[in-house]
A and B are shown apart, each in its own frame.
Chain A
């Protein structure tokens, strides 16, 4: 089952890369640089998905005290932080040639960076507590606070300043060829599978660690 998921994920990633970097047409103004969108946008999607899973798993843990839910939250937060980092990295690489700067305090950059430090704090809290049960409880509380904070972060930063281009998939421009949309969707699917693969593997390692300790 696990290796099947891994195989499908790998195939999806390869297909997504080929579609995004070879088949999809070159963007007229930005040139090949724009192709990084096929990595950047799915990364941020996975990050938000991961943090949503952290919220749900945290609530389930507090209500049911199922250790599996705690491990899911932990694994998901780690993968979420990873993909938030990837989003920032690919965004910077994209921003340098198009905006002329690696970093700017634009609304969405700021939002993502706040999420990044918020969930880094979450992982830090987990690392600081030896007692497994207490760590799980505290992390669940923090996971809930952090998730409810996301809309607040979003609006505050949005009103603060914005410069980002509007999301291109929700409101496709008139000239956006179907192949670009298809390539992007394939990458979305592949990244989601990758997320599932990472989380299941990580949760398994966490379970084995817990068993080894017990």
Chain B
């Protein structure tokens, strides 16, 4: 499943290209909205960074299952032998990879445009980003499977996802803020634990309930 999605993505580069462009546009918009004042930008940077991640995540994740619908592969997915939760894990892994690629690109762009030197904080930042991304993708994949089967899916997906992800956003933004000013990971241990707990809960609920989402 992962393999198939990655292959499709590599062949078409459809989502990746569009999301890359979208990320670039976001950066422009942030700049325009906040003006060139460097200090203000630095203060809002963690929030902007995660806003960029989640907005591109919304676009990318929302398409997870739409592709299957458009290409009439939905029935194939349903008929596939084995546990439905395998589909979930596969889609989740694919989304995770896609999001991590996008986030790396966005991070480089942020560093470039906002003139940041991220090399020192990169390991700590990577931990925060990885934990946060798993939480985003876990719920996102589950909800994407639901909303793909509903009308007005583009509308419903973010409306369902954003409130549920509120704690993840708070945790990641706070942790990123601390990490960017050079604090060690130990100082944000409570946030990291919360994110880890969120990851476990979301993935577990996703695996357990995915069967019910894919029934009809």
List the interface of chain A (C-beta within 8 A of B): 62, 114, 117-118, 121, 124-125, 128-129, 131, 133-134, 137-138, 140-142, 144-146, 148-149, 152-153, 155-157, 159-160
Closest to B208 in A: A144
Contacts of A133 in B (CB 8 A): 216
What range describes how many residues of B lie at the interface? Answer: 20 to 34
* B167 contact from A121, A129, A138, A155, Cβ within 8 A: A155
Contacts of B156 in A (CB 8 A): 124-125, 128
Main secondary structure of the interface of A (DSSP, over half): helix
Count chain A CB atoms within 10 A of each CB in B164, B168, B202 and give the residue with the most: B164
Given pairs A114-B166, A121-B159, 14 additional interface contacts (CB within 8 A): A62-B209, A125-B150, A129-B150, A138-B149, A140-B212, A141-B142, A141-B146, A141-B209, A152-B168, A156-B166, A156-B170, A156-B171, A157-B170, A159-B194
* A145 contact from B139, B166, B167, B174, Cβ within 8 A: B139
Main secondary structure of the interface of B (DSSP, over half): helix
* B164→A149 contact, CB < 8 A: yes
Q: Which of B165-192 contact A (CB under 8 A)?
A: 166-168, 170-171, 174, 190-191
A-B residue pairs in contact (CB < 8 Å), sample of 7: A118-B163, A125-B146, A129-B150, A141-B209, A149-B167, A157-B167, A159-B190
When chains A and B are docked, how far (Å) is the Cα of A133 from the Cα of B212?
11
* A145→B142 contact, CB < 8 A: yes
* B209 contact from A114, A121, A144, A159, Cβ within 8 A: A144
